[in-house]
Amino acid sequence: MSSRKEILVFDNIPSLRSWRQQCIKQDKQVAFIPTMGSLHEGHLSLGKRRYVKQGSQHCPIVVVSIFVNPAQFAPNEDLDKYPRTLSNDLELLRSLDCVDAVFLPKVEEIYPYGIPLDVEKQKGAFVEVRDKSHQMEGKSRPLFFRGVSTVVTKLFNIVQPNCVFFGQKDAQQCIVIRTLISDLHFPIEMHVGTTGREYDGLAMSSRNKYLTPDQRNYATTLFKGLSAIKNEFDQGEKNREILLNKGYELIEKVTKEVMEKNLGFELKLDYLSLVDPRTLEELQEIEEEKGAILSGALYVGKTRVIDNLLLNCTL
Ligand SMILES: Nc1ncnc2c1ncn2[C@@H]1O[C@H](COP(=O)(O)OP(=O)(O)OP(=O)(O)O)[C@@H](O)[C@H]1O
Ligand SMILES: CC(C)(CO)[C@@H](O)C(=O)[O-]
Ligand code: BAL
């Protein structure tokens, strides 16, 4: 019978730090996967990818953090009801058999002055990645990337990882973090894992737990819209209007269907976006060699589903 690797659980900064010091003394490199918990296969694939690809010689130690970060939630968002499933998360991580430590910091330790969601009332140090945080997701969630950049900076300083793993599902987040690593001179190598999807294409996400069975059936609408656009791009179309119209048409058709069926919820498209992967500027025409990030957000009832597809580019 194979014995499972024990996972160390650190619930405060000093204990994590003193363990990390031991790793440094032993010259052991650390891989780090920050999460907000409520883990699913999408998260786990990030861990497996590190394990398989990097191999135990590169980063033999894997640390996962679970922290629902209040600073990235707007006052009208779902901080209070965000799924928290710690014992299940720990069990899933144990089943991976490649995670060495889990970091579970408390809100009071990460934000010693408290963290009111009203930004005017916040105190202390915050981190902004300007010019990469106001487009796409940032347009709908204006302080989201300030919250993400701040907590990721704090976590990087505490964990001191050699390499970090983020998911393509949050494409703009990957670009913001890459810029943060470079501009703040963190000696960290960043890796992006491809989006883990359900059998029907829906991007795995902790928030999918909010969906009722009827809503779940229609939650693939965004992915279908994005895929219709990508299909057109793959056949040679490069013009924004023609491309995006393919997506709008499909999403509008399904939106009407949901309304007519009177299912007790609505589909509401928040945005579709087609941007330059470096500048995040909206594109009128895609240049073959530069490619584009195609992304969007769709409300399925009150649940906001996001997704993206890369058109001839990487993150
Ligand atoms: N389907 C997925 N495939 C690959 N990586 C993912 C997937 N979903 C999330 N991740 C990545 O896992 C990390 C932690 O994400 P997080 O804990 O916010 O989960 P989430 O499912 O994205 O939650 P939410 O529903 O709040 O968006 C991030 O780097 C995120 O991009
Ligand atoms: C990177 C992150 C853990 C910061 O809270 C979060 O935004 C996420 O899970 O994608
Ligand atoms: N994965 C993104 C976390 C959030 O939407 O808050």
Interval 173-191: pLDDT, tens: 999 999 999 999 999 999 9
Return the structure tokens found at 101: 């430590």
Size (the chain), residues: 315
Share above pLDDT 70 across residues of the chain, in percent, rounded to a whole number: 95
Q: What's the mean per-residue pLDDT of the chain? A: 94
Q: What are phi and psi of 225, to 5 degrees?
A: -65, -45
Regarding an ipTM greater than 0.90, the answer is yes
| Cα 213 versus chain centre, distance | 24
User: In whole angstroms, what is the distance from residue 218 CA to residue 266 CA?
Assistant: 10
Check 43, 58, 134, 191 and give the catalytic one: 43
Mutate to test the pocket of ligand 2, among 166, 168, 170 (most ligand atoms within 8 A of CB): 170
Nearest-CA residue for atom 4 of ligand 3: 72
Per-residue three-class SS string for 169-219: HHHHHHHHHHHHHHHCCCCCEEEEECCCECCCCCECCHHHHHCCHHHHHHC
Q: What is the pLDDT of residues 67-113, one digit of tens each?
A: 999 999 999 999 999 999 999 999 999 988 889 999 999 999 999 99
CA of 105 to the centre of ligand 2 (A): 14
CA of 306 to the centre of ligand 3 (A): 10
Comparing 37-41, 145-149, 211-215, 268-272, which segment has the lowest mean pLDDT?
A: 37-41
Nearest-CA residue for atom 9 of ligand 2: 35
pLDDT of residue 53: 55
206-311: CATH superfamily:
Pantoate-beta-alanine ligase, C-terminal domain (3.30.1300.10)
Q: What is the pLDDT of residues 251-270, one digit of tens each?
A: 999 999 999 999 999 999 99
Are 161 and 31 in contact, with CB atoms under 8 Å apart?
Answer: yes
Are 310 and 291 in contact, with CB atoms under 8 Å apart?
Answer: yes
The closest alpha carbon to 292, from 312, 273, 272, belongs to: 312
DSSP secondary structure letters along 107-172:
HHHH-TT---SSGGG--S-----TTSSSSHHHHHSTTHHHHHHHHHHHHHHHH--SEEEEEGGGHH
Confidence of residue 54 (pLDDT cuts 50, 70, 90): low
User: Under the phi-then-psi rule, with left for phi > 0, alpha for psi from -120 to 50, and beta for the rest, what region is 235?
Assistant: alpha
pLDDT above 90 (res 47): no
Are 196 and 203 in contact, with CB atoms under 8 Å apart?
Answer: yes
Mutate to test the pocket of ligand 3, among 33, 35, 36 (most ligand atoms within 8 A of CB): 36
Are 308 and 226 in contact, with CB atoms under 8 Å apart?
Answer: yes
Strand, helix or coil at 288? coil
Return the structure tokens found at 42: 């999408």
8-193: CATH superfamily:
HUPs (3.40.50.620)
Ligand 3: nearest atom to the Cα of 141: 5
Mutate to test the pocket of ligand 2, among 44, 149, 152, 206 (most ligand atoms within 8 A of CB): 152
pLDDT above 80 (res 56): no
Q: Active-site residue 58, yes or no?
A: no
Give residue limits of the domains in the chain.
Answer: 8-193, 206-311
Q: What is the pLDDT of residues 225-237, one digit of tens each?
A: 999 999 999 999 9
Are 44 and 81 in contact, with CB atoms under 8 Å apart?
Answer: no
pLDDT above 70 (res 239): yes
Q: How far apart are the first and last CA of the chain?
A: 41
Residues in CB range of 260: below 8 A, 6 or more apart: none
172 lines ligand 3 (CB under 6 A): no
pLDDT of residue 59: 77
Instruction: Flag whether the pTM goes above 0.90.
Output: yes
pLDDT of residue 50: 61
Ligand 2 pocket, CB under 6 A: 34-36, 69, 72, 148, 151-152, 170, 173
User: Under the phi-then-psi rule, with left for phi > 0, alpha for psi from -120 to 50, and beta for the rest, what region is 201?
Assistant: left
